[in-house]
């Protein structure tokens, strides 16, 4: 038996991607592919000790009673048969839009999809501007007439033809490269973007989480304090890694001409960095919201939230960091074990209505 905190995965794929289930015991458990390329899920030990249940994906509804929302999400992920953070997010938003997790989750999912759409438009425009700038062409005229107008599109086509000529590329090839780059950079955005994209916002929020958790753990005498300190440390390492990755991507975007000319060499690097960033920040959004919600509550609730965060905290895989976070987490297990939480109502043994409601409320705040 291994535990999510003492089991030390070597890669992100081995760690799995967090799934935003609303069933308390399954919230933020991780999905991954097994050696036979079949989906499976890692559920942390129910007694908060060492060990993890590795459950085949298709058996999950048999092993744990799930909410209707989770059954739908389970089906969607099974149908997609993919478990990267982006695949999981797509399924999570689709399930939330149905209304099975409440009206708040519907609004949040719709807002997130709208934001994705806006970012897609924005990054496309910005990349075209960058491409024109890279070959010394002026793009302000496009902005004046509007990118989406017929005149604007004609102007863009003409300018892009010129840009392709200067780069010694076929226009379709240039368009293809920019379209692919837009897909890769959609969730990250450009450093110059007027509205930071999702992962940049998440990194900023994680930074805030780190500061807030450090403040909370300092001068705190509760048993949760060292666990809070550890969570802040994991957040710090993650932010540092994420900052490096974003730095690399921003650097690549700053030399846009080189990027377009050396596309075959640079494309895998951009793809890898973009994927690595979404893996690095995967699972943090829920934890950040959980913590910000706990900060408005009393100290005991805050200590319980720290234990909840520790239970599913996304530790960096061994290949990513020099420090072995799993070993560090192992030393805290004895304190964590004392906060065993009943994930069901003690009176009836059924799903705890209040816990599910809390998870749904947090889901409603994610956008």
Partner 1 sequence: MEMRDLVALGDKLLDIDEAKFRQVVDLLERMNDHPDILRTIAVIRPRLIELRLNRRPTLKRLFCDPFEDLFEALGKADPVPLSVIERALMNSLWPLVEAEIGKERLRAFRPALQYGPERKALSEAFWTECAAAVSKIAEGAISGHYSDALELRMNPDRTRALADIATILSIAPDVIELKAALSPKPVPKLHADHMEAIQTIGRRISRARPAALKIFVLLAASRLTDPSVLLSGLWDMDLGQKPADRASLFMSLSGTVVAQIEERSRAWQTAAGGDRMAVADLALHLVASLDATRAAMEHSRNKEFDRRLKDIRSSVHAMVNTQVLQDADAGIVAAIGALDGGSDGRAQLVRAENHARALRKCATIADSLGLRGELREMTRKTTVTLTEKAQQALAGPAGNPRTGYTAIRMIELIAGPAEANKIMDGIMSGGRR
Summarize as ranges the residues that interact with partner 1 (CB under 8 A). Answer: 23, 65-69, 71, 75, 98-103, 106, 215, 298-299, 345, 347-348, 350-351, 353, 357
The least distance separating partner 1 from the CB of residue 102, rounded to whole angstroms, comes to 7
Provide the minimum distance between the beta carbon of 345 and partner 1 in the complex, in angstroms, as a whole number.
7
Question: Is the CB of 272 or the CB of 299 nearer to partner 1?
Answer: 299
Ramachandran region, residue 176 (left: φ > 0; alpha: ψ -120 to 50; beta: rest):
alpha
Tokens of 216: 């909370």
> CB neighbours (10 Å) of residue 359?
24
**Closest CB 330 distance from partner 1, rounded Å:** 28
Nearer to partner 1, 151 or 211 (CB): 211
Between 98 and 147, whose beta carbon lies closer to partner 1?
98
Contact (CB, 8 A) for 6 and 50: yes
Structure tokens at 3: 């535990």
Contact predicate 242/321, CB 8 Å: no
Task: Give the shortest CB-95-to-partner 1 separation in angstroms.
Answer: 10
In angstroms, the CA 253 to CA 250 distance is 5
Q: 20 or 164, CB closer to partner 1?
A: 20
What does the DSSP assignment read for 212-236?
HHHHHHTT--STHHHHHHHHHHHHH
- Return d(Cα 271, Cα 284) in angstroms, integer: 21
Q: Which is nearer to partner 1, 54 or 295 (CB)?
A: 295
Q: How far apart are CA 95 and CA 76, in angstroms?
A: 8
């Amino acid at each position: 038996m291994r535990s999510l905190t003492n089991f030390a995965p070597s890669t992100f794929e081995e760690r799995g991607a967090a799934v935003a289930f609303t069933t308390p015991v399954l919230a933020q458990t991780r999905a991954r592919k097994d050696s036979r390329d079949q989906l499976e899920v890692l559920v942390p030990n129910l007694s908060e000790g060492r060990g993890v249940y590795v459950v085949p994906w298709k058996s999950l509804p048999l092993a744990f009673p799930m909410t209707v929302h989770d059954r739908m999400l389970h089906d969607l992920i099974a149908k997609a048969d993919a478990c990267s953070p982006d695949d999981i997010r797509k399924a999570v938003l689709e399930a939330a839009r149905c209304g099975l997790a409440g009206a708040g989750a519907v609004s949040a999912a719709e807002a997130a999809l709208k934001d994705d759409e806006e970012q897609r438009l924005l990054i496309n425009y910005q990349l075209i501007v960058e491409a024109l700038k890279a070959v010394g062409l002026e793009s302000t005229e496009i902005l004046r007439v509007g990118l989406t107008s017929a005149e604007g599109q004609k102007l863009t086509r003409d300018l892009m033809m010129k840009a392709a000529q200067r780069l010694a590329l076929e226009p379709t090839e240039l368009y293809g490269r920019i379209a692919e780059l837009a897909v890769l950079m959609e969730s990250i955005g450009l450093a110059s973007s007027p509205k930071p994209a999702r992962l940049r916002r998440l990194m900023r929020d994680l930074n805030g989480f780190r500061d807030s958790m450090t403040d909370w753990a300092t001068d705190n005498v509760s048993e949760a304090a060292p666990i809070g300190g550890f969570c802040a440390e994991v957040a710090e390492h993650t932010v540092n890694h994420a900052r490096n990755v974003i730095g690399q991507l921003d650097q690549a975007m700053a030399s846009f001409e080189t990027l377009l000319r050396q596309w075959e060499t640079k494309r895998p690097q951009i793809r890898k960095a973009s994927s690595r960033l979404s893996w690095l920040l995967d699972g943090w959004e829920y934890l950040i919201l959980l913590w910000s919600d706990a900060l408005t509550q009393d100290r005991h609730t805050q200590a319980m939230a720290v234990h909840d965060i520790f239970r599913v905290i996304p530790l960096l895989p061994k290949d990513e960091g020099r420090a072995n976070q799993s070993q560090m987490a192992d030393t805290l297990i004895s304190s964590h074990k004392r906060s065993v939480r009943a994930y069901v109502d003690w009176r009836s043994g059924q799903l705890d209505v209040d816990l599910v409601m809390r998870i749904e409320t947090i889901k409603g705040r994610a956008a």
